[in-house]
Amino acid sequence: MSVNVRVQIAVNGVKQELEVEPRLLLVHLLRDRLGLTGTHVGCDTTNCGACTVHLNGEAVKSCTVLAAQADGAQVTTIEGLAADGGLHPLQEAFWEHHGLQCGYCTPGMIMAAADLLERNPNPSEQEVRHGLEGNLCRCTGYHNIVKAVMAAAGSARAGAAAPAPAGAGEEVAR
Amino acid sequence: MSTVEQPATRGDGFVGRAMKRKEDPRMITGRGNYIDDLALPGTLWAALVRSPEAHAKIVSIDKSAAEERSDVVGVFTHEDLKGDFAAPMPMVWDPPGMEVNTPEHWPLAGGEVKHVGDPVAIVIGTDRYGVVDAAEGVIVEYEPLPAVVDPEAALEDGSPLVWEQFGTNKTHEWSIAGGDVEAAFADADVVVKQRLVNHRTAGAPIETRGCIADPRGDRVTLYSATQIPHIARFVISLVTGIPEDKLRVVAPDVGGAFGSKINVFAEEVLAVVLARRLGRPVKWIESRSENMAVVHHGRDQIDYVEFAAKRDGTVTGCRVRVVADLGAYYLQLTPWIPQLGFPVATGCYRMPNIDLKFEGVFTNKFPTDAIRGAGRPEATHWIELMINKVAEELGMDPLELRRKNFIPKEEFPFTTPLEITYDSGDYHGTLDKLLQNLDLDAFRREQAELRERGVYRGVGFSTYVEVCGLAPSRAVGPQGVGIQGAGWESAMVRVSPSGTATVYTGTSPHGQGHDTGFAQIAADRLGLDPENVEVIHGDTDQGPWGWDTYGSRTLAVGGEAVARAAQKVQAKAKRICAAMLEAAPEDIELVDNKFQVRGSPDKAWTMAEIAGAAHIPPQELPADIEPGLEETSFYDPENFVFPFGAHACVVEVDADTGKVDIVRYLSVDDCGPAINPMLIDGQVHGGVAHAIGQALYEQVIYDESGQLVTGTFVDYALPTAAELPSFETDRTETPSPVNTLGVKGVGEAGTIAASPAVTAAVMDALKPLGVTWLDMPLTPMRVWQAIQEAQGGGDGPRRTEQARDLDEHAGGSAGSGPTGPEEGGAS
């Protein structure tokens, strides 16, 4: 057994300090150690994107990040996306436009879409489709997901400013 | 066929509205409750040791390295556990008067392994990662045996046998015929023939399978990502000998299924057995690579199809021989699934003569079983492409040929030569609406102009009818096709003292939106807002027994049961209300969510007031009214329902690379009156996307030695948002006379409809290049090869398997067997 490592991490704005196995994946730290089960696992090859979270403000697939690599980072999960217990415009739009069926890909899809809109607040349909190609959905055929993301972008343009994700955005490293 | 009275649609009701889903708030905020989200104190983890061989004798199993680990509780093989089983895993199709070669199937393989991934041992330990390490430390010595992968080669004399005791790899042969097929072919002006390969695919829900078995006292609760909690309890009871009342099965939120969670799998049985043995919860979460290898696949059949027609375009008959690759074992319905397309094998057409023969074959692969559509996509694929081929042969417009042979709407209910009664339909209506939306003339002009510039666009059509609403018990049960089960459904509606309602359904959702649609149905009948109607499902300790969710049965069977139970509650509410208001029950009417005396809206009670009186009567209830407000309905439909529609796909093919892009996809579906049109559109989108996946990208590939080549999402190409278009959906509403809601299922319709439309579109695009036939998946490699071959440009890097006609290959071997991995991926 390898020696555990100490990880300091801020998740949804809350500082955490944990001893972890060096091989522990960030997704399992979030799910199994912190109880944040909104971040899902759908594959073992970084294809499906169900585990997408924001690491220092940037969307990453948390099944392909070691918890140890996230030492010192700020992480935002689906549970922390909206401020004050409300809904983020993307969450509202997914609900309004039936952007989910089984709901399993949804948290990762919303986190990826939030990153996409952060970088491109006014995307075309094709830009949304290409921007989300790292996230798989088997239920919706993506039709209503794309519609929801376009609608959320539109509502942001219309002045319903998206609340800043808690604990993210300060140390954006690209 | 009997019909039921259709109540007039209430314009002011909740039914028919595109209501937002009740399920969504928890799911969009990360507060869903999927199987891996459940954590129980003291949980042990399980990992399986699986065969790397497709066919081998197990010589020895050395568990010592795993057992020595401090984090391992035990390692168990078939020998260790066989005393815990009362029976092998069941297959439940027992057709009257017919033998199906049925091998024993135990949760763990003993003696021999029959496919890659066959489990030979299970490791139980305290750590999620640790059990996986420990499983890798279990040393199994195998003596490889010859494997057979190609189903047609498996039928040849001298083929290696998957199961020696049967002396053949043929599992069964099932035939059905109607009319006089020999005469139809003898009198035909034209006969067209084709061999079609409908390749193996995966269900691939984004959530894999998983379960936790929790032993408490003399009971075991199994939480499982399953479509079938009730059937699972029944089957697990059978296999383990644990009485049903000592088992509880709970389906939490289930992250998609598409048929792939329709079986009771070995891992669920093992979790129950080991939890009971060890006295602690046992949890198993499937990896994606396991999901690709050891969840049943779908399709995988070779179809030899002949259509006969007269010069005037009357299609007079068809003859079909299906060779279905069933894999090495049976899951609950493996050998039955290929036949599931038979009730609609005459399509939307009169087709007076038909002869179908299905043969099943054992191979050293994982079993096939029901994946979205299950037998019906295969049938639609051959019907629609053969109709095009007949039109081509006759020099007729394929849409005109369809119209000529459609069953006219006046002739429903229509009994086919296979004695199947289509309930209702308007096939001309959906096609007309589709063509309006498409503007075919404009497309043909654009197509011609683009061809001048070397741009190849094409359009393909599918006019489909499907059979769903599983099922009338007398049709599918032991006295019907021989499934040892039934197809009715239950619902219980309970109104609480404060006037909110709980609906218990025997169906079990995994994305369909039962909570919302069923609440809408119940709310209208109870005079409540759907917000105040909670829908409970997926727990065998709650509500009546049910037959779970598959085969597009949710609404047409489960929803009808909800409607009937709610109607009973309404009737009792009226009696209570009448007693309280001193009126006659028949004078009470439900208007604007108020139970009022007819003509006296001032004398009215809400459901809350009636529910209060039912539980705590302010004055004495009449002696013939029991207290409480709760009713149950068990509904067994008299017939299936037959949704239908017309789809069109427009593609552009890059002739230099073979890459296919979907430019437009249009559908007009008819599943009767909408309960929630938003949910219908969602089902169509997903269903069509599933079929586009099969048509263009997805393929489960085993190599010549039986190794699974497509074991991850890297190799198995699900379509992404970037590959798919926005869908142009539309509907017509032709009520079914089978149920009071008038509804038909829609969960599989898109998948059943779409693959021939996509395939035909690509063939239409490539017509100027001389391509006349394509089998799916239409990967760039395949399409490019077909173009090269048609252009006489040589074989390309590999000999293509396309465009071989039937006679050349009858009795030969080829097809869905080994194909190079390079053909399986998306571009």
Sheet holding B298-309, edge to edge: B170-178, B353-362, B315-327, B298-309, B190-201
d(CA B296, CA B290): 11
Residue A162 half-sphere exposure, CB side, CA atoms within 13 Å? 26
Q: What is the pLDDT of residues B381-415, one digit of tens each?
A: 999 999 999 999 999 999 999 999 999 999 999 99
Q: Is B677 on the interface with A (CB under 8 A)?
A: no
Strand partners, B326: none
- pLDDT at residue B820, as a whole number: 40
Percentage of the residues of chain B whose pLDDT score is greater than 70: 94
B431: left (phi over 0), alpha (psi -120 to 50) or beta: alpha
- pLDDT at residue B680, as a whole number: 98
DSSP-based three-state secondary structure for B258: coil
- pLDDT at residue B808, as a whole number: 44
> The tokens 């006489």 sit on which residue?
B792
Question: Nearest CB to B207: which of A42, A47, A94?
Answer: A42
- pLDDT at residue B371, as a whole number: 98
The string of DSSP codes covering B157-212 is TTPPPSSGGGSSSEEEEEEEEES-HHHHHHT-SEEEEEEEEEEEE----SS--EEE
Task: Kindly report the length of chain A.
Answer: 174
Question: Nearest CB to B686: which of A28, A135, A141?
Answer: A141
Inter-chain contact A39–B30, Cβ cutoff 8 Å?
Answer: yes
Inter-chain contact B24–A145, Cβ cutoff 8 Å?
Answer: no
DSSP-based three-state secondary structure for A5: strand
pTM: 0.94
Tell me which chain A residues have a C-beta less than 8 angstroms from the C-beta of B28: 78, 87, 91, 94-95, 100, 103, 106-107, 110
The chain A residue lying nearest B252, using CA atoms, is A102
Q: Is B22 on the interface with A (CB under 8 A)?
A: no
Inter-chain contact B27–A139, Cβ cutoff 8 Å?
Answer: no
Q: Which tokens sit at B192?
A: 């067209």
- pLDDT at residue A137, as a whole number: 98
Flag whether pLDDT at B615 surpasses 90.
Answer: yes
Give the number of beta-carbon pairs within 8 Å between A and B: 180
> The tokens 């030569």 sit on which residue?
B417
- Which letter, b or e, does each residue of B166-177 get, where b requires 16 or more Cβ atoms within 10 Å of its Cβ? eeebbbbebebe
Question: Nearest CB to A100: which of B28, B289, B726?
Answer: B28
Q: Is B511 on the interface with A (CB under 8 A)?
A: yes
Antiparallel, parallel or unpaired: β B112-113 and B247-250: unpaired
Side chain identity, residue B272: V
Q: What is the pLDDT of residues A33-80, one digit of tens each?
A: 999 999 999 999 999 999 999 999 999 999 999 999 999 999 999 999
- Which element (helix H / strand E) includes B349? none
Give the number of other Cβ atoms within 10 Å of residue B661's Cβ: 14
Average pLDDT over residues B769-783: 97
Inter-chain contact A42–B287, Cβ cutoff 8 Å?
Answer: no
d(CA B760, CA B648): 9
Residue B196 pLDDT grade (very low, low, confident, very high; cuts 50, 70, 90): very high
d(CA B692, CA A141): 10
Q: Is B682 on the interface with A (CB under 8 A)?
A: yes
Tell me which chain B residues have a C-beta less than 8 angstroms from the C-beta of A78: 28-30
Q: What is the pLDDT of residues B483-536, one digit of tens each?
A: 999 999 999 999 999 999 999 999 999 999 999 999 999 999 999 999 999 999
Sheet holding B119-125, edge to edge: B72-77, B119-125, B44-50, B282-285, B210-216, B219-224, B247-250
Q: Is B553 on the interface with A (CB under 8 A)?
A: no
Residues 6+ apart with CB under 8 A from B794: B788
Side chain identity, residue B502: T
Q: What is the pLDDT of residues B346-362, one digit of tens each?
A: 999 999 999 999 999 99
Inter-chain contact A40–B255, Cβ cutoff 8 Å?
Answer: yes
DSSP tally for chain A: helices H, then strands E: 5, 5
Residue B4 pLDDT grade (very low, low, confident, very high; cuts 50, 70, 90): very low
Kindly state the DSSP code that residue B368 receives in the 8-state scheme: B
Spacing of C-alpha A28 from chain mean position: 15
**Phi and psi, residue B278, nearest 5°:** -95, -10
Min CA distance, B258 vs chain A (Å)?
9
Nearest to B646 by CA among B375, B402, B340, B397: B402
Q: Is B689 on the interface with A (CB under 8 A)?
A: yes
d(CA B600, CA B768): 73
Per-residue three-class SS string for B39-51: CCCCCEEEEEEEC
DSSP-based three-state secondary structure for B589: strand
Sheet holding B56-62, edge to edge: B112-113, B56-62, B139-144
Inter-chain contact A23–B129, Cβ cutoff 8 Å?
Answer: yes
- pLDDT at residue A159, as a whole number: 54
DSSP tally for chain B: helices H, then strands E: 21, 28
Nearest to B328 by CA among B462, B568, B575, B163: B163
Torsion of CA A81, A83, A85, A90, to 10 degrees: -50
> The tokens 């997926």 sit on which residue?
B538
d(CA A100, CA A144): 8
Min CA distance, A55 vs chain B (Å)?
17
Flag whether pLDDT at B119 surpasses 90.
Answer: yes
Flag whether pLDDT at B809 surpasses 90.
Answer: no
Inter-chain contact B688–A141, Cβ cutoff 8 Å?
Answer: yes
Best mutation target, B23, B27, B713, to test chain A (most A CBs within 10 A): B27
**Angle at CA of residue B333, ends B330 and B334, nearest 5°:** 45
- pLDDT at residue B794, as a whole number: 56
Q: Which tokens sit at B310?
A: 């007269």
Average pLDDT over residues B438-455: 97
Sign of CA dihedral B811, B817, B820, B824: positive
Tell me which chain A residues have a C-beta less than 8 angstroms from the C-beta of B21: 95, 98
Best mutation target, B28, B37, B283, B289, to test chain A (most A CBs within 10 A): B28
> The tokens 């049961």 sit on which residue?
B561
Antiparallel, parallel or unpaired: β B119-125 and B44-50: antiparallel
Nearest to B89 by CA among B102, B73, B76, B74: B102
Give the number of other Cβ atoms within 10 Å of residue B164's Cβ: 9
> The tokens 């409540």 sit on which residue?
B528
How far from A20 is each of A3, A25, B134, CA to CA, in Å? 9, 9, 20
Q: Is B68 on the interface with A (CB under 8 A)?
A: no
Task: Answer whether the bond into residue A107 is a cis peptide, omega within 30°.
Answer: no
Side chain identity, residue A48: C
Mean pLDDT of chain B: 94
Inter-chain contact A100–B27, Cβ cutoff 8 Å?
Answer: yes
Min CA distance, A127 vs chain B (Å)?
9
- pLDDT at residue A157, as a whole number: 72
- pLDDT at residue B12, as a whole number: 76
Tell me which chain B residues have a C-beta less than 8 angstroms from the C-beta of A110: 28
Residue B619 pLDDT grade (very low, low, confident, very high; cuts 50, 70, 90): confident
- pLDDT at residue B11, as a whole number: 54
d(CA B765, CA B455): 9
Side chain identity, residue B415: T
Flag whether pLDDT at A136 surpasses 50.
Answer: yes
Instruction: Specify whether the CB–CB gap between B489 and B547 falls below 8 A.
Output: yes
Inter-chain contact A139–B682, Cβ cutoff 8 Å?
Answer: yes
Flag whether pLDDT at B697 surpasses 60.
Answer: yes
The chain B residue lying nearest A21, using CA atoms, is B129
Average pLDDT over residues B434-444: 98
Instruction: Specify whether the CB–CB gap between B356 and B177 falls below 8 A.
Output: yes
Average pLDDT over residues A2-21: 96
Min CA distance, A92 vs chain B (Å)?
8
Inter-chain contact B712–A45, Cβ cutoff 8 Å?
Answer: yes
Best mutation target, A139, A140, A146, A149, to test chain B (most B CBs within 10 A): A139
Q: What is the pLDDT of residues B701-759, one digit of tens each?
A: 999 999 999 999 999 999 999 999 999 999 999 999 999 999 999 999 999 999 999 99
- pLDDT at residue B145, as a whole number: 98
Q: Which tokens sit at B264?
A: 């009771």
Task: Kindly report the length of chain B.
Answer: 827
Instruction: Specify whether the CB–CB gap between B471 and B216 falls below 8 A.
Output: no
Inter-chain contact B686–A98, Cβ cutoff 8 Å?
Answer: no
The answer for B 28-47 residues in CB contact with A (under 8 A) is 28-32, 34, 36-37, 39
Q: What is the pLDDT of residues B466-483, one digit of tens each?
A: 999 998 999 999 999 999
The chain A residue lying nearest B514, using CA atoms, is A101
Torsion of CA A19, A21, A24, A29, to 10 degrees: -20
Side chain identity, residue B613: A
- pLDDT at residue B725, as a whole number: 98
Tell me which chain A residues have a C-beta less than 8 angstroms from the C-beta of B678: 98
**Angle at CA of residue B111, ends B105 and B113, nearest 5°:** 65
Task: Answer whether the bond into residue B471 is a cis peptide, omega within 30°.
Answer: yes
Residue A132 pLDDT grade (very low, low, confident, very high; cuts 50, 70, 90): very high
How far from B95 is each of B87, B331, B479, B575, CA to CA, in Å? 20, 16, 9, 47
Question: Nearest CB to B27: which of A50, A106, A140?
Answer: A106
Q: Which tokens sit at A80?
A: 């922390």
